[in-house]
Structure 1
Amino acid sequence: MSRNSSLPEAPHAPKADVCLLMEGSYPYVAGGVSTWTHDLIRSHADLTFHIVALVADRGARRLAYELPPNVTGLTHVYLQDPPAGWRWQPGTARLVAALETPLGRLQQGGGLAEVAEVLRLLAPRRGRVGKRALLNSEHAFQMVVRMCRAALPDASFLEYFWGSRALMSGLFATLLVPMPQASVYHAVSTGYAGLFAARARLETGRPALLTEHGIYTNERRIEILMAEWLFEGGDTSLVLDRKKRDLRDLWLDTFASYSKACYDACDRIITLYGGNQEFQRRQGADPAKLTIVPNGIDYAGYSQVRRDPEPRPPTIALIGRVVPIKDVKTYIRAASILREDIPDLKAMILGPLEEDPGYVEECRTIVAHLGLEQTVIFAGRVKLTEWLGRVDAIALTSVSEAQPLVILEAGASGVPTVATDVGSCAELLLGRPDEDPPLGPGGAVTPLASPLDTARELRALLLDRPWRERCAQAIARRVAQSYDKVAIDRIYRAIYDEHIAMPTRPVSHAPTTVKQSPSPLVGEGLG
């Protein structure tokens, strides 16, 4: 365990220049967003950072990264286990009754006004109120009964109860944890991290920033529509045309509410490429706040990777976490097809295996079923620069991505990619429309969940050396021209400097559109 795991939490940590809000990623989960965050902190060594890690529960965790010395605090938000608070006291009934309207609206597409109203009610009681009153009391149970009748009258109450409880646990955990002091609050997604950013803007008056690598609501939609535990009656098909609102809508609408609140609260909304901005506009983001800052990688470092001399087995790699959203199963099936023409093929899987053990086991079962034990190798988390020199092409079979760092890292090393047509993959591999001069393809783009197409494009790269070399040169030049981290760091530093220098704005929890409760409840204790 790193020494940094014992860093002070809010409110005891010193005031930081930047408070980074991380949900389910840095510093405990390795991956593209976590690596981006780690590099961002190290690139601005003269700024201090406080990390808010929004995690599922209070279980023990090991750091996946050695936190840099300019990280001065680490606060945890346990989404499934908000603070317990005092036992029931007089005032609980009035508090819960006042919360019912804004909570109900947040489950049906609300936004910043509803978050402000919930904060207005909770703020005077922070440190005293918690799940005993807000989730476990008789008043809270009766509130959930009424909310179910109003929002999902045709749903199973038992399913609504547990679904709503999980959502409200995350909400209360995010709004009740002590607030770290910082000059700027920077969320690296919407969701609960974005909700925390909205809270920070409302409570402190300091600027809030958002960097969306992938559109959180889109990724949650994929996960929710694939989650068997959210489906009533055993229907697990991805059916979008449904007449009655059900538990899936409850989750989707709630996360849409948090995204709206975050967009409205943030001073700058950053994303990686133009396609994401269209989604942000549809979800209510102010176009005047939108900014594109692409991912950058250490081109100088990756361009120094030395190619292993041939002859050696033709080698492909999938670089990433072994989780469903990466669709590793399509990669394995593509390797099976490819092996028919290239018997000595090696298909590496380079990425963490601990996030979803059940999915990893399913992938291993497919490998065994297809007789690929000598072909497909689960290498786990590796130092990428030590492996790229022996890889001829990488495959990215994800069902959702934003701007994958692995395409850029492999590209700088002279390794072309075959990727699904998600996020900015086509832009990275084929070039933006304004690329001048056009550099040519750095690989190929395929449809989702198509092992045959993936295998066909990988086969072309492996068996046609001149084609592979042209693609490798094109993607290396594109990374050097548009995605060098040195230039990207300068952009982020300008954004930080601008917002750190901004004056603190007036603080108010008062909502703008939600009707005030009859009693302000401010100052009323629970005892």
Structure 2
Amino acid sequence: MAVICFICEGAYPYIVGGVSSWIHELISSNPQHFFKVLCIIPNKEFAKVKYKIPKNVVEIKNIYMDPYLNFSYLKVLRENMQKNEEKEKSIEELLLFQMNKDKEKLNKVEDVFSKKMGTPLEIILSKEYWEILLKYYNQHYSKGNFSTYYWTYRNIILNLLKIGQESIPKAHIYHSVATGYAGFLGAVIAHQKKGKFLLTEHGIYPREREEEVLASSWIDADFKSIWIDYFYYLSKLAYQYCDKIISLFEYNRNIQIEYGAPEEKTIVIPNGVDEKKYGSIVRNKRKGFHVGSILRVVPIKDVKMMIKGFKIASDQIPDMTLWLIGPTDEDDDYYEECLKLVENLGLKEKVIFTGRADVTEYYSFLDLLLLTSISEGQPLSILEGLASGIPFIATDVGNCREILIGKIDIGEAGIIIPPTSYVDLSKALVELYNSPEKLEKFSVNGKKIVNKYYSKAAFIEHYRKIYDEMGG
């Protein structure tokens, strides 16, 4: 019996979605082990539990990333009277987001995480931090606005110091579900030899963050490179300190290796779903053509593109209904924008936001499922839908292509379209509406694909062996 601590960033048990469901399934399916959950979240208000916590979860600890202003002004003044060279070296290394082949990265910054050099804000206010910051600015960013530069680094470094100085629950294995802050904390834990460090990447974190940074309007163009370098640094650091690195499919494993993961540490374990549970759902055809999507109403799911594509197709399919199944409260502004779009397009009677719901009720009558995400890993919603006998239209992201059209020994189970293309979505909707025989063939193939490649039993057994091996 081992104690396994999941490290989550803005996910389980406070967010409903694929990654959270994946964690919940692993915990529930390994009752022989005890689990703890270490959650990195924005603030206390975020901590609203959305899952029934399994009995083998013995501790949930939150790390809040809201303002942490505890510091001693007198201590800062006193320590700024004279220079501390060790402190200066640690801070300089922390601000330099480069890994290269340096295997002692955290050795050089260890003292700032031990609190002996002060609280996060005391370090930020130190003379040493200020001088290093100025030096980097003059060397690399002097054309940019200094105030923006200062606050960019302040936000980044405060977060790292806050996380690095936290007390950590005791465990045999620390299992992070991403690189980012969760992976960084795992690296600190492994460096301090508190336990084994296991990483499962559902998507490629730095690549996803890079896309967000490049598209963002709130990050000054002169300093986007700082954020991008920072996110790649966090991933490389996690890869360095991991005992084992898991990806969901081979393509992502190759990207991990390209980004610095030691090849000998990497393995592929696909997601799995309960094919018996979903395969036993009784399908009851309803009047009309019912299309659904299992999602969180957030920008990365590109719900607006889905609504636009549905609108174009509905002009040719008047009896079509779109069911958007999942939470709407994670991004209130985006949800309101989606509601307004539905209203402006005259779709209020045809597009239904269900909120949180039992998805199996909808799997019983949906004719087709959609996924229009801008970025994905290996979506559980696709595997569940296929296991239920429902074909898919999905954007060409993550592992969607391989799942739906890549199993040549079985056949296709859906259609792949380019991301952001509502025109291609509308064409695919019309094509499948007019091809009931193709829908039926996709339905049969989808069940076969899940049974052969993505069974829950195989998924659980892979992790059971890893937990036994690392926790023994």
TM-score range normalised by the length of the shorter chain: over 0.9
Alignment of 1:11-22 (within 5 A): 17-22=3-8
One-letter amino acid of the structure 2 residue matched with residue 351 of structure 1: G
* Pair 481,340 (structure 1): closer, same or farther in 2 beyond 3 Å: same
Q: Is the 8 A contact 2:7 2:38 kept in 1?
A: yes
- Equivalence for 2:238: 262
| Aligned partner of 1:130 among 100, 105, 119 | 119
| Contiguous gaps of at least 5 residues in structure 2 | none
Give the distance between the partners of 1:83 and 1:209, measured in 2 at CA: 32
The Cα of 1:73 is off from its aligned counterpart by 1.2
* Pair 456,82 (structure 1): closer, same or farther in 2 beyond 3 Å: same
One-letter amino acid of the structure 1 residue matched with residue 411 of structure 2: G
| Contiguous gaps of at least 5 residues in structure 1 | 1-14, 233-245, 502-527
Q: Is the 8 A contact 2:388 2:447 kept in 1?
A: yes
- Equivalence for 1:373: 348
The Cα of 1:85 is off from its aligned counterpart by 4.7
The Cα of 1:323 is off from its aligned counterpart by 1.1
Does residue 101 (structure 1) correspond to residue 92 (structure 2)? The answer is: yes
Q: Which has the higher contact order (CA 8 A, sep 6+)?
A: 1
Q: Is the 8 A contact 1:346 1:375 kept in 2?
A: yes
Give the distance between the partners of 2:256 and 2:452, measured in 1 at CA: 27
- Equivalence for 2:391: 416
- Give the RMSD, CA atoms, in angstroms: 2.0
Deviations 1:186-244 (A, max 9, x none): 11000000001101111125221100000001111121112210134xxxxxxxxxxxx
Alignment of 1:113-262 (within 5 A): 113-123=104-114, 125=116, 129-137=118-126, 140-232=129-221, 246-262=222-238
* Pair 124,131 (structure 1): closer, same or farther in 2 beyond 3 Å: closer
* Pair 290,56 (structure 1): closer, same or farther in 2 beyond 3 Å: same
The Cα of 1:295 is off from its aligned counterpart by 0.5
The Cα of 1:158 is off from its aligned counterpart by 1.4
Alignment of 1:124-523 (within 5 A): 125=116, 129-137=118-126, 140-232=129-221, 246-310=222-286, 312-432=287-407, 438-501=409-472
SS in 1 for 2:423: helix
The Cα of 1:16 is off from its aligned counterpart by 6.3
One-letter amino acid of the structure 2 residue matched with residue 69 of structure 1: K
Give the distance between the partners of 1:142 and 1:191, measured in 2 at CA: 27
Give the distance between the partners of 1:108 and 1:269, measured in 2 at CA: 18
The Cα of 1:179 is off from its aligned counterpart by 1.7
Q: Is the 8 A contact 1:24 1:55 kept in 2?
A: yes
The Cα of 1:61 is off from its aligned counterpart by 2.4
Give the distance between the partners of 1:111 and 1:361, measured in 2 at CA: 48
One-letter amino acid of the structure 2 residue matched with residue 373 of structure 1: K
Deviations 1:327-385 (A, max 9, x none): 11110011101101111210111121111111111111211111111111111121111
Q: Is the 8 A contact 1:403 1:425 kept in 2?
A: yes
Give the distance between the partners of 1:117 and 1:409, measured in 2 at CA: 46
The Cα of 1:481 is off from its aligned counterpart by 1.0
The Cα of 1:101 is off from its aligned counterpart by 1.6
Identity among equivalent positions (%) equals: 33
Alignment of 1:34-45 (within 5 A): 34-45=20-31
Q: Is the 8 A contact 2:291 2:369 kept in 1?
A: yes
The Cα of 1:143 is off from its aligned counterpart by 4.1
Give the distance between the partners of 2:447 and 2:91, measured in 1 at CA: 55
Q: Is the 8 A contact 1:303 1:412 kept in 2?
A: yes
Give the distance between the partners of 1:491 and 1:440, measured in 2 at CA: 26
One-letter amino acid of the structure 2 residue matched with residue 65 of structure 1: Y
One-letter amino acid of the structure 1 residue matched with residue 41 of structure 2: V
